[in-house]
Structure 1
Amino acid sequence: MTRSTQELQDITLLGNQNVVYQTEYAPEILEAFDNKHPDNDYFVTFTCPEFTSLCPITGQPDFATIYIRYIPHIKMVESKSLKLYLFSFRNHGDFHEDCVNIIMKDLIKLMQPKYIEVFGEFTPRGGIAIHPFANYGKPDSEYEQLAKTRLFAHEMRS
């Protein structure tokens, strides 16, 4: 099953050799494409081991692996645009918890997924590691219950 040129008309970053890397938070860079299997429930997982942002107080860099898992509905995020979007946090000053929630909310706005979760495994600084987890399930659906179940069962790491 191939995609038509019309289906791909909104995908502008993939294959583009002249992409400008944003260094300030840029949610507008995210691109989506149609899910050809909206009746199937399946997870899409992204592991982003090179995420960086800045501490909003000290300006020091924070490093993390960001894990994004979602069950698509009508739209899916294009991976190069996601990479460039995550790169745009490089000079963004925010707390770890804020970054994870912002990423999740921007992806919800873009795709309206059935379910999504974002987990940030931040490198320890000052002897403390922070690992925020945020998730969302489509309201009034079985995915809303899935979100509650996964949130309350989220694993604690020692």
Structure 2
Amino acid sequence: MQNEDQLQLLGGKTVYLKEYAPDILEVFTNKHPENDYWVHFNCPEFTSLCPITGQPDFATIQIDYIPDQKMVESKSLKLYLFSFRNHGAFHEDCVNIIMKDLIRLLDPKYIEVTGIFTPRGGIAIHPYCNFGRLNTKYQELAEQRLFQHKR
């Protein structure tokens, strides 16, 4: 885990990657792991490619999590999400890939990812996925939020 002074991307020259790059994500230490609190990211400029047609898909990606020991650094998250620009994946795949990458990176108490994709062919798709740490109150939270989820 990195301390703030060990972050590589923050404050440096921005290099945008052209391939899906989960390794670009960086973390820092949560200074309040004893507290339960939400961290919300709203990413309104997400793009990916349809894996069949190669046409671009546009979305707002919303990421909400309750951190434990680690937190994701926002510039690295921006670059990671940008790395989907040339990545071919269905909408549902994108949100699940993002969630699973962040679970591996952060081991959060709870996380959810929502994709609000713009319509193509007259249909908008808004996939939602979540995860709560197993055998804890966060697993119960995940079940409640999933089954009560409405868009």
TM-score normalised by the chain length of structure 2: 0.97
Aligned length: 150
Matches within 5 A, 1:1-158: 7-17=3-13, 19-156=14-151
Quote the Cα distance in structure 2 between the aligned partners of 1:94 and 1:85: 15
Which secondary structure does the structure 2 equivalent of 1:25 belong to?
coil
Identity of aligned residues (%): 71
CA contact (8 A) 1:10 1:32 kept: no
Shift of 1:20: 1.6
In structure 1, stretches of 5+ residues that fail to align are 1-5
Runs of 4+ in 1 over 4 A off after TM superposition: none
Aligned CA-pair RMSD = 0.9
Amino acid at match of 2:148: A
Quote the Cα distance in structure 2 between the aligned partners of 1:10 and 1:97: 34
CA contact (8 A) 1:113 1:138 kept: yes
Amino acid at match of 1:11: L
Shift of 1:23: 1.5
Shift of 1:10: 3.3
